[in-house]
Structure 1
Amino acid sequence: MGRAEKFSASFSRVFAPLIDLVYPPRCPLCGVAIAENGGLCGSCWAELVIPGEPACASCSRPFPPGIAGGTTQCAVCLHDPPRHAGIAAATLYNDASRRLILAYKHGRKIALAGQLGRLMAAKLPEPGEVPPLLVPVPLHRWRLWRRGFNQAALLAHELTRHGKGELAVDALVRRKATPMLGGMRRKARQRALSGAIEVPRRRAELVRGRDVILVDDVLTSGATTSACITALQKAGAVTVKICCFSRVLDESLHGDAAAAVTMRARKT
């Protein structure tokens, strides 16, 4: 932690009681009073689905109780072996995680990055002697201009604060704007993303020979993630692991609800 961050943390601790008196802490989902800022009330916390074991050895897709984990792979990974080195998801996508993401990303409550980042950090191991690069999924400059911030970059910064790696916020760039991917077939998504994401020449040396953690708020179809992995591996990344706050598992949803949830999640 740098000097500026230490000062900021000390400043926050000193003035936190006064701030809480003027602005009483509220749950960001339901608005009920809570003990301190940066958390959820008990009821809303209970609504979040935290993935655990048993799970797929390759992608951490949860298995039903009774199925052995360890080296067991899910049917999806057996059919189409992933190019990533694993998925670390803080939550599975449901109504509670959706509301948190909407408040954070579209409601512009960027202070939620700290809370989301803590949950994500808990899913990552302590880094080794050479820390991995924390690389956020990039936004095109026009979308960044409209929104005012890159939600994935803020989460990557939080993971850096928790000691999970070295931040490389500009290791990926999105060279061209892409349409909304929701509802597109796989080949159409691939065409839309072709050549859209790359490692800029000035950052290629940083990526080469390094393990990378690709950071995003929501993992849906994986089309954008796949384009990022392609760019990072082309630049010489050794491994690419995915870390996200929420992961959409379409097989856990049904009918129109699945389509509606997936569409909402893909509004990046």
Structure 2
Amino acid sequence: MRAAFPGALPALRAVLREALGLVYPPNCAGCGGATADPGALCPACWSALRLIEAPLCPRYGTPFALDLGIGPLLSPRAIAEPPVFARARAVALYDGAARSLVHRLKYEDRLDLAPAMARMMLASGRELIAQAECVVPVPLHRWRLWRLWRRRFNQAALLGRPIAKAAALPFRPGALARVRATRSQVGLSRAARATNLQGAFRVPPAARASLQGQRVLLVDDVTTTGATANAAARALLRGGAASVDLLTFALVAQEAL
């Protein structure tokens, strides 16, 4: 049954949102303090974000300390250890406010933070998104999803879905599977991380047709050494993807140059 007044329902929703805001005032996504808009950052947390801006390495997305003014330059690491993925971008360095946001999303079940983080990723990754043909989140192994109380959801998928929706791109969480349960990457060296992830990802046979020749935007929450992204990108390329770019919310500070 249609409403007698077409504009009544949107107006009612607006009133309900306003009433809810009076009972539960919007708070900062970073520190929990009061803010004007839900999911926004307060001025203190926003200023505490170490946003990644040019000049940066076009492959790893790591920022340079100085702008030499001579065009795009590869970082020494990109020359010595070219990544499997084509390009990587991130919103901020992984410390302070950025670390707080990631930890609250991942370990405190603050799923409401994902849309705000995704909006920032849309801005930082606009160049990659403009050339992408589909969005694929880095998957978790089903053992982690079902058995670990801290991982009842996949944070990469929570970030990737709104990015795909805003960019009008297909969202394909089933295009990549984590087929081997790996040990935690925390505390492992770069070489150990790479070894730990060997053979961990695979493109399921049912997903291969939709992946053929596609420019994939791979989404995750944090880039540490790039080992996870390399392993995932390698599997996607073997599964038929034409190229893989990486977009994350944060990049560990030690990756800055």
TM-score clears 0.5: yes
What is the alpha-carbon distance in structure 1 between the residues aligned to residue 41 and residue 139 of structure 2? 28
For 1:111-167, what per-residue CA distance to the aligned partner results, in whole angstroms no more than 9, with x for missing partners? 100000000011233756x85211000001121123221000010101012116220
- For the pair 1:180 / 2:184, whether they are aligned, the reply is yes
Residue 21 of structure 2 corresponds to residue 20 of structure 1: yes
Q: Which residue of 2 aligns with 1:73?
A: 74
Percentage identity across paired residues of the two chains = 38
Show the 5 A alignment for 1:3-82.
Answer: 13=14, 15-68=16-69, 70-82=71-83
User: In the alignment, which of 212, 220, 225 is matched to residue 224 of structure 2?
Assistant: 220
Query: How far did residue 59 of structure 1 move?
Result: 2.3
Q: Is 1:132 the equivalent of 2:133?
A: yes
Q: Indicate conservation of the 8 Å contact 1:132/1:210, yes or no.
A: yes
Shift of 1:72: 1.1
Structure 2 Cα separation of the partners of residues 78 and 117 of structure 1: 30
- Secondary structure of 1:37's counterpart equals coil
1:89-168 maps to which residues of 2 (within 5 A)? Answer: 89-125=90-126, 131-145=132-146, 146=148, 147-163=151-167, 165-168=169-172
C-alpha separation in 1, matches of 2:255 and 2:190: 17
Paired AA for residue 165 in structure 2: R
How big is the shift at 1:78?
Answer: 1.4
TM-score w.r.t. the length of structure 2 is 0.87
Residue 45 of structure 1 aligns to a residue whose secondary structure is helix
- The list of structure 1 runs, each at least 4 consecutive aligned residues, that deviate by more than 6 angstroms after superposition, is 9-12
The residue matched to 1:73 in structure 2 has which SS? coil
Q: Kindly tell me: are residues 19 and 116 of structure 1, through their superposed partners in 2, closer, same or farther at Cα, counting changes over 3 Å? A: same
Classify the secondary structure of the residue corresponding to 1:111.
helix
- Using the TM superposition, give the Cα deviation of residue 10 of structure 1 relative to its aligned residue in structure 2, in angstroms: 8.9
**Which stretches in structure 2 are left out of the alignment for 5+ residues?**
1-9
* Selected match of 2:243 from 230, 239, 245: 239
CA contact (8 A) 2:83 2:230 kept: no
Query: Would the aligned equivalents of 1:171 and 1:200 in 2 still touch at CA under 8 Å?
Result: yes
Mapped to 2, the partners of 1:112 and 1:45 lie a distance apart of: 14
**Secondary structure at 1:43 match in 2:** helix
**Cα-to-partner distance string for 1:149-190 (whole Å, 9 max, x where unaligned):** 100001010101211622001111111211012232344333
Q: Which residue identity does 1:101 align to in structure 2?
A: V
CA RMSD of the aligned region, Å? 2.2
Is the Cα contact below 8 Å between 1:90 and 1:119 reproduced in 2?
Answer: yes
The size of the alignment, in residue pairs, is 244
- Helix, strand or coil: the match of 2:220? strand
CA contact (8 A) 1:132 1:164 kept: no
Label 1:54 to 1:18 Cα distance change in 2 as closer, same or farther (>3 A). same
Judge conservation of contact 1:59–1:77 (CA < 8 Å) in 2: yes
Q: Is the 8 A contact 2:62 2:256 kept in 1?
A: no
**Rounded Cα–Cα distance in structure 1 between residues aligned with 2:235 and 2:61:** 23
Q: Is 1:209 the counterpart of 2:208 in the alignment?
A: no
C-alpha distance in structure 1 between counterparts of 2:118 and 2:88, whole Å: 15
- How far apart are 1:65 and its partner, in Å? 2.9
SS of residue in 2 equivalent to 1:122:
helix
CA distance in 2, matches of 1:69, 1:120: 27
1:238 partner letter: A
Which residue of the partner structure matches residue 5 of structure 1?
A: none
Inter-partner Cα distance in structure 1 for 2:29 and 2:256: 26
Contact 1:28 1:40 in 2 (8 A): yes
